[in-house]
Amino acid sequence: MNASENLIATEQRLGAHNYKPLDVVLTRGEGVYVWDTDGNRYLDCLSAYSAVNQGHCHPKILAAMVEQAGKLTLTSRAFRNDQLAHLYEELAALTGSHKILPMNSGAEAVETAIKAVRKWGYEVKGVPEGKAEIIVCSDNFHGRTLSIISFSTDPDARTGFGPYTPGFRTIPFGDADAFAAAINENTVGALIEPIQGEAGVIIPPAGYFKRVRELCTTHNVTLILDEIQTGLGRTGKLLAEEHEGIEADVTLIGKALSGGFYPVSAVLSNTEVLGVLKPGQHGSTFGGNPLACAVARTALKVLTEEGMIENAEKMGNYFLEGLRSIRSNIVKDVRGRGLMLAIELEPEAGGARQYCYGLKERGLLAKDTHEHTIRLAPPLVITKDQVEWAVSEIEKTIT
């Protein structure tokens, strides 16, 4: 047994089997590349589900983390720290938010939004206590906590974990008429991904979000956009909502907010929604800690100052064009926005996972989703040459 086989065997023996990773053991990362324990180099086309948009181990984020770690890491929110206010200011300036609530993981940000919007529904909108409803979409992915899996339509995520949290109404994604029909007097919010990532990079029809925004405004419903995967440059804009020309009432960000160095998430909103939370009603020991804030501040800075968002748009278009030029009878669809891309294979191709293993052998790491789809989401620092190389390796693997 070599070193990597040894590590895999230990994981199998001692770890819970709630993941099914590709059998590659990574030990180092830099920019768009990662290396395994045998010294093989790979182009990372997953970016830790878009958490390393800024590239692996970005030197400026690393420096900020090391510097802050040597000064102060955690005070809890029982006391104030000298980093939080700066993060608030910088996030507000960047996104136009009026109120910000920091958490750690994406799922925590989603849970926070659900709590705040329900409370808003009772205290501001006047919905009877215990009756609040939130509209969600089928094939959604918002996390793995009990309340979130209660409104998942994925049997793997949901089965065996009941009883489930009530208060959610599920409708098809991208269907504005179904959305209109689902609204009633107890509807307090709508929680939607601008592009469904886990479902296979599903992009809604043009005009869908404009109509959703109008319906939410008309019926006094809080529009919550989960931009944890689509946000922070991934689609070629800072936030994916910009493609639709709309503004959410609540925006959830995470993942790339730390450039992959640390779990940091945030709920971005206004005083009306987040103002309902009073001391003692919600919190987190680590949420808004000085280390997280220092890391997030620098992660945002390099994202905007180093032209990564513009690069995502340019390289994304180039990548999409390249993928669409691949001629193969097993390719059913190629779609994407910015550097959030997917190749959907015909069912007779026998599943996407084998092709992900084929790509791994060629030095490219990607992940299958929903059985027939290969997702591609490299760090936003990818260059034209690297895109060309990736397209050529994908073409060889598929054809």
pLDDT per 10-residue tile (average), the chain, 399 residues: 93 96 97 97 98 98 98 97 98 98 98 98 98 98 98 97 98 98 98 98 98 98 98 98 98 98 98 97 98 98 98 98 97 98 97 98 97 98 98 97
pLDDT for 59 equals: 98
> Which residues have CB under 8 Å from 354's CB, separation 6+?
none
Q: Give the model's pLDDT for residue 1.
A: 86
Q: Which CATH number fits domain 3-54+307-398: 3.20.20.70, 3.40.50.300, 3.30.413.10, 3.90.1150.10?
A: 3.90.1150.10
Q: What is the pLDDT of residue 177?
A: 98
pLDDT in tens, 50-88: 999 999 999 999 999 999 999 999 999 999 999 999 999
CATH level 3 topology of 60-305: Aspartate Aminotransferase; domain 2 (3.40.640)
**Phi and psi of 178, rounded to 5°?**
-65, -35
DSSP symbol at 349: G
For the chain, the domains span 3-54+307-398, 60-305
Active-site residue flag, 139: no
Is 385 part of the annotated catalytic residue set?
no
DSSP secondary structure string for all residues of 13-56:
HHS-S-----S--EEEEEBTEEEETT--EEEESSHHHHTTTT-B
Q: Is 226 a catalytic residue?
A: yes
Q: Given the residues 44, 226, 249, 368, select the one marked as catalytic.
A: 226
Cα separation, 175 vs 254, whole angstroms: 27
Q: Enumerate the β-bridge partners of residue 367.
A: 375
pLDDT of 342 reads 98
C-alpha 53/C-alpha 353 separation (Å) is 23
Query: Residue 145 is which amino acid?
Result: T
* pTM as predicted: 0.98
Q: What is the distance between the alpha carbons of residues 88 and 300, in angstroms, rounded to a whole number?
A: 12
- The single residue of 141, 179, 209, 261 carrying the catalytic annotation is 141
Q: What pLDDT does 344 receive?
A: 98
In 10 A of CB 232, how many CB atoms? Answer: 32
Question: What is the rounded distance in angstroms from the CA atom of residue 165 to the CA atom of residue 147?
Answer: 5
**Catalytic hit among 255, 261, 367, 368:** 255
CB 212 within 8 A of CB 223: yes
